[in-house]
Each structure stands twice: as structure tokens, then as C-alpha cells.
């Protein structure tokens, strides 16, 4: 079943192409607390090593912790697995994107919640037809 998911979907773990590239060129660098596995490979066309992540489950870019995010984007050459990384007080943990779920944010007056929006104040005049 896992093979079929990898063959037909890109959002569950890794595709067959990623699996082959990782097997062929990838050097495992580490794993985060969410189970995502990070790899480094050959140099890219702009001279920096290619870096990628194989998600454990659903592929969601916001599920990369802050320390690994810095390493993935070449902000640091030392991955968190090789140093004692501590998140800063202002760095927040992962929170899933709830868009399209019953828990999504729906402001007062939206079509999903009903009600009426607050009136606009200030220098804004709403457009009305034939005015």
C-alpha cells in the first residue's frame, strides 16, 4: 500500500523519483522530533549543496521546525542534529493549516458563519451601484 501511495501521490511521504534520488545521491543528515528526515546531496547549479526533507506522513512545509528551516535554506551550515539547538522564545511550534476544515478561522459576517460585519469607519466609502 505504501508503494502505491508513493507511486500515485506526492503529498504522502516521498514519490518514487524522490526515493530514487535520495537512494542514489542523498546523505542522511538528521531527523527532527516530528519524524521528518533531512538529506544533503550534490551541488546545485548555484554552487550550494542540495538539501531536502522526506516528511513523515503528509507533506506540509510548515511542519519543519525552526532550526531545520534555517539549515534547509542555507542560513547555517551546521544542522541541528550536530549542535545543541534551542528555539528562541519568539519561535512558535508547528500549527497545522486549518483552511478547509471545521476549525478554520471564519470572521464574523463571513458566508460560513452568517451574521453581519462591522460597519466600515474612517475615510472608506463602500461602492454602491448607480451612486
CA dist., res. 37 & res. 59, Å (int): 12
Nearest to 36 by CA among 70, 19, 60, 5: 60
Give the pTM: 0.65
What are the cell numbers at 90?
519568539
Residue 102, C-alpha cell as written in the block: 471545521
End-to-end CA distance of the chain: 62
> Strand, helix or coil at 31?
strand
Q: Which pLDDT tens digit goes with each residue over 78-92?
A: 898 888 877 788 877
The string of pLDDT tens digits covering residues 49-60 is 999 998 887 788
Place of cell 519543519: 64
For 4, the enclosing helix (H) or strand (E) is helix 2-8
d(CA 37, CA 55): 7
**Residues 115-127: tens digit of each pLDDT:** 787 777 777 777 8
Amino acid at each position: 500500500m505504501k508503494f502505491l501511495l508513493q507511486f500515485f501521490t506526492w503529498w504522502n511521504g516521498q514519490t518514487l523519483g524522490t526515493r530514487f534520488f535520495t537512494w542514489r545521491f542523498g546523505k542522511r543528515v538528521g531527523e527532527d522530533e516530528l519524524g521528518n528526515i533531512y538529506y544533503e546531496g550534490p551541488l546545485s547549479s548555484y554552487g550550494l549543496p542540495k538539501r531536502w526533507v522526506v516528511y513523515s506522513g503528509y507533506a506540509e512545509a510548515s511542519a519543519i521546525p525552526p532550526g531545520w528551516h534555517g539549515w534547509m535554506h542555507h542560513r547555517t551550515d551546521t544542522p541541528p542534529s550536530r549542535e545543541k539547538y534551542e528555539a528562541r522564545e519568539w519561535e512558535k511550534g508547528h500549527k497545522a493549516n486549518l483552511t478547509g476544515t471545521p476549525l478554520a478561522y471564519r470572521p464574523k459576517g463571513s458566508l460560513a458563519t452568517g451574521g453581519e460585519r462591522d460597519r466600515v469607519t474612517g475615510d472608506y466609502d463602500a461602492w454602491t451601484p448607480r451612486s
